[in-house]
Amino acid sequence: MKNNTFLVIKLNQKNEFRTTASFEINGMRFAAVDVKIDTGCPHTSFPMLKLGLSEESAYKFKEKDCQNESIAKTISFGVNDTKVKRDEDKRKFKNRRFMELNSISFKHTAKDFSLGCLSLGDFPVSVSYDRTGNTLIGMDILKKLKIFIGKNNLGETVLIACQQETNSFVAVLSELVDVRKI
């Protein structure tokens, strides 16, 4: 189903839902970026190095964001980060030593954001300039959609999503999944 109302994604061999996203951040346009749908991730996260920014450009953007008081900054940790690293990073953050942190993220607006074929408008996202992991679509965006995850008529596990305002969700589900009115 290729229209601008519904997104249908098949579960891949690694048990992931992946699709593409397009958006603009800091005046740079990114198209057909491979993204992972992550229901365990509270905030959408864009690692700029993974998106093709050079290390030099990423450093300059990080420096600019660190100096800009109007840009919100947060730190987040990976599952393998030790308590010592977490405590040290929290201390650096509190002392505003932002450039020393690769666990720091900056709030930006992804303008003209689209997920697969769905145009969703502008969304705040977390941007990091030091990380190279997956580009994650988190619950901050997913909660704005109607979502169904289940088996389609071919027995494939699919994620079907549309905007909250879409009225024909059950009709589309009926085409792809055996849905019956009771």
Using DSSP, state whether 161 is helix, strand or coil: strand
Residue with tokens 């990114």, as numbered in its chain: 30
Q: What is the pLDDT of residue 84?
A: 95
On whether residue 43 sits in a domain, the answer given is yes
Q: What is the pLDDT of residue 182?
A: 53
**How many percent of the chain have pLDDT more than 70?**
89
On whether residue 177 sits in a domain, the answer given is no
For 69-102, write each residue's pLDDT tens digit.
999 999 988 778 899 999 999 999 999 999 999 9
On whether residue 12 sits in a domain, the answer given is no
Q: Which domain holds residue 110?
A: 18-150
Instruction: Quote the number of domains for the chain.
Output: 1
**How many percent of the chain have pLDDT more than 90?**
73
Quick one: DSSP state of residue 78?
Answer: -
On whether residue 174 sits in a domain, the answer given is no
Q: What is the CATH number of the domain that holds 22?
A: 2.40.70
Distance from C-alpha of 18 to C-alpha of 37, rounded to nearest angstrom? 6
Q: What is the pTM of this model?
A: 0.85
On whether residue 5 sits in a domain, the answer given is no
Is the CB of residue 38 less than 8 Å from the CB of residue 154? Answer: no
Q: How confident is the model at residue 181 (pLDDT cuts 50, 70, 90)?
A: low
* Backbone CA torsion sign across 94, 99, 105, 109: positive
104 exposed, middle or buried (CB, 10 Å; 0-12, 13-18, 19+)?
buried
Q: How far from the centroid of its chain's Cα atoms is residue 49's Cα?
A: 15
Q: How confident is the model at residue 176 (pLDDT cuts 50, 70, 90)?
A: low
